[in-house]
């Protein structure tokens, strides 16, 4: 069973917007700067998977670009799998949007393979999925290709024993091995039948075990069996309010027992939740959801705090809601064995005390009331750190954070870095021996030799607090986002005054600023 463009359909379901749909909107989901999936109208405009974002936008000026999140795919596909399992047993999820089912049992029960496939199509239609395809063949690979064949047939059946004949004319690119395609084309092998005609021993010697496996797939000899998934225990909890509630404190009070039941259910399974998903439904038809992380694991009070923070929208006050709340549901997004989080013989130590203290303050001040500084990439020192709420991952996750750190960032300050970075740049003055303000002309040449320096004072202060300059270096020009209207050019300097203090200075728009101080 295959749902075309499932990442796009899942994203539209997650957004819950009637104005956006996978059939009528030009949408592209991006991963690592390249198009991962796009809607049918976007493909009609020339957008393809693997294109860079700028090239895709140049082909379709109305393209809606969003980041791809695999968790959204899995989360949206879960209720569909549960509905399919009520109709046919033993489903293996190959990936969100595609699953494999053993056809023998359902075909006997429902009076044939065609009838069983049509029943699955009807089940999917209840979820608003009207473009799903069913492929039935001797193996998983052949069945997938049967489902992907263009046409109006919702259920395509390859007769038993004819999988090799069905696959014969298909291109070798369908094997999903990009590294094999160039070499096979050089050998004159363009179709699966030509690849299957090669000697199996020679294929194994040249391409290894994976090449031999692909050779068997091309010959219609897919020996893989369907491995039915084991349905996970139902850990989700939901509360519905007969009378919609329009205040945060009312919703939090009504959800208290549900939060306790949610944590108790997870504890009975000998698990702890390290990430949860909270979804709120309002009486105007909107559904908002957010994933919350925890530095350790969630207790009932932690779950209740996240529900309250989500309803507050980050404002930290128990104010009225934009629309009355009809229901609130919570589900575990990530769980771990409780054994891995047991306290030691003498307690958890200082880390546990710190965590409880931060959580206590956070519950009083709100989700963004306690933040931690995380180092990231950037050219300016002020942009190399980001404040993250306690318990949350940095924007983009740890992998994105590590990637940004490893980028070259030309123009950044080399090490050793200053130990004190000012939250806001401090006004400064740099004068030459004649008392004139030192500047940089259009060619990047200094108008004078720095002789006197002062920080924390304005130009009109009469020069109080000025100190002689003992040494200096620079300028180092830096131009950011030169291709945009908001581009800015700055010059950096390092300077040591008579008191022995080393400064990192910035000259921008003919004004001097102290960015950091070396200790």
The pLDDT score that the predictor gives to residue 317 is 46
d(CA 57, CA 61): 5
**What is the sign of the dihedral through the CA atoms of 147, 173, 219 and 224?**
negative
The pLDDT score that the predictor gives to residue 120 is 93
Q: Please give the chain's pLDDT, 519 residues, in tens.
A: 999 999 999 988 887 654 445 566 889 999 988 999 999 899 999 999 989 999 999 999 899 999 998 888 888 898 999 899 989 988 999 999 999 999 989 999 999 999 999 999 999 999 888 889 999 999 999 999 999 988 888 999 999 999 999 999 999 999 988 888 888 999 899 999 999 999 999 999 988 999 999 999 999 998 888 888 876 677 889 999 988 998 888 998 999 999 999 999 998 888 889 889 999 999 888 888 888 888 788 989 889 988 988 888 754 444 457 789 999 999 998 888 887 766 655 555 556 667 667 777 877 777 778 888 887 777 777 777 788 887 777 776 667 777 777 777 777 777 788 888 888 888 999 999 988 999 998 888 899 999 999 987 444 333 447 889 999 998 888 887 666 666 678 888 999 998 888 999 999 888 999 988 887
332 in Cβ contact with 235 (< 8 Å): yes
d(CA 236, CA 66): 28
Residue 380 contacts by C-beta under 8 Å, 6 or more apart in sequence?
412, 515
Residue in 264, 277, 262 with CA at minimum distance from that of residue 307: 277
SS3 of residue 321 by DSSP: strand
The tally of CA atoms less than 13 A away on the side-chain side of residue 187 is: 15
Q: Which two tokens stand for residue 54?
A: 């700028």
């Amino acid at each position: 069973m295959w749902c075309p463009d499932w990442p796009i359909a899942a994203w539209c379901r997650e957004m819950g917007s009637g104005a956006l749909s996978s059939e009528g909107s030009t949408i592209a989901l991006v991963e690592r700067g390249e198009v991962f999936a796009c809607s049918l109208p976007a493909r009609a405009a020339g957008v393809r998977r693997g294109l860079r974002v700028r090239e895709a936008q140049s082909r379709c000026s109305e393209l809606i670009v969003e980041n791809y999140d695999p968790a959204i795919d899995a989360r949206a596909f879960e209720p569909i799998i549960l509905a399919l399992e009520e109709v046919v047993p033993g489903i293996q999820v190959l990936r969100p949007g595609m699953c494999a089912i053993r056809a023998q049992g359902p075909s006997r029960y429902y009076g044939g393979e065609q009838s069983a496939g049509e029943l699955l199509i009807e089940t999917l239609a209840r979820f608003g999925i009207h473009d799903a395809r069913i492929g039935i063949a001797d193996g998983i690979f052949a069945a997938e290709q049967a489902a992907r064949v263009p046409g109006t047939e919702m259920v395509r059946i390859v007769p038993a024993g004819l999988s090799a004949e069905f696959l014969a004319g298909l291109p070798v690119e369908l094997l999903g091995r990009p590294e094999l395609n160039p070499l096979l084309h050089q050998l004159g092998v363009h179709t699966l039948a030509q690849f299957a005609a090669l000697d199996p021993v020679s294929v194994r010697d040249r391409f290894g075990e994976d090449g031999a496996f692909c050779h068997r797939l091309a010959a219609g000899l897919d020996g893989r069996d369907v491995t039915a998934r084991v349905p996970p225990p139902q850990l989700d909890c939901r509360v519905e309010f007969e009378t919609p509630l329009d205040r945060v404190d009312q919703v939090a009070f009504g959800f208290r027992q549900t939060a306790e039941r949610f944590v108790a259910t997870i504890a009975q399974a000998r698990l702890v939740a390290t990430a949860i998903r909270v979804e709120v439904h309002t009486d105007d038809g909107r559904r908002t959801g957010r994933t919350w992380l925890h530095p350790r694991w969630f207790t009932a009070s932690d779950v209740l705090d996240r529900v309250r923070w989500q309803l507050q929208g980050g404002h930290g006050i128990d104010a009225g809601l934009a629309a009355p709340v009809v229901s609130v549901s919570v589900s575990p997004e990530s769980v771990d064995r409780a054994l891995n989080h047991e306290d030691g013989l003498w307690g958890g130590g200082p880390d546990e005390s710190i965590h409880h203290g931060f959580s206590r303050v956070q519950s009083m001040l709100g989700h963004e009331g306690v933040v931690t500084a995380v180092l990231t990439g950037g050219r300016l020192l002020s942009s190399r750190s980001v404040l993250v709420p306690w318990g949350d991952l940095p924007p983009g996750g740890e992998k994105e954070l590590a990637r940004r750190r490893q980028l070259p960032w030309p123009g950044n300050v080399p090490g050793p870095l200053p130990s004190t970075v000012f939250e806001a740049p401090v006004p400064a003055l740099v004068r030459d021996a004649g008392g004139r303000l030192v500047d940089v002309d259009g060619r990047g040449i200094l108008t004078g030799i720095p002789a006197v320096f002062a920080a924390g004072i304005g130009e009109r202060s009469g020069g109080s607090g000025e100190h002689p300059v003992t040494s200096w270096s620079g300028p180092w020009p830096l131009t950011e986002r030169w291709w945009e209207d908001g581009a800015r050019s700055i010059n950096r300097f390092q300077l040591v005054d008579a008191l022995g203090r080393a400064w990192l200075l910035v000259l921008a728009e003919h004004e001097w600023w102290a960015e950091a101080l070396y200790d």
